[in-house]
Amino acid sequence: MISYDNLWNVMREKGISQYALIKKYNVSPAQITRLKRNESVSTHTIEMFCRILDCEVGDIMKYIKDGES
């Protein structure tokens, strides 16, 4: 499973809210919901978040083996 839990920490550190993502950066609310649920998103979406947050892919997502948490 891919976890996006780190994304929310990076957003807090950078001072970027979900509201700003939607209004300023035109991120779809549905994409934010998918990330909250650790569902699949496109590499385009990951790239967009890295650009907005000025971070690396590993800063916002991580792989968790089945059975681990």
What is the arithmetic mean of pLDDT over 37-60?
96
- pTM, rounded to two decimals: 0.86
What is the arithmetic mean of pLDDT over 4-15?
96
C-alpha dihedral, 9 to 11 to 12 to 16, nearest 10°: -170
The pLDDT of residue 69: 61
Contact 14, 8 (CB under 8 A): no
Q: What is the DSSP letter of 25?
A: S
Q: Is 36 helix (H, G, I), strand (E, B) or coil?
A: helix
Interatomic CA distance for residues 48 and 27, integer angstroms: 9
12-33, pLDDT tens digit by residue?
999 999 999 999 999 999 999 9
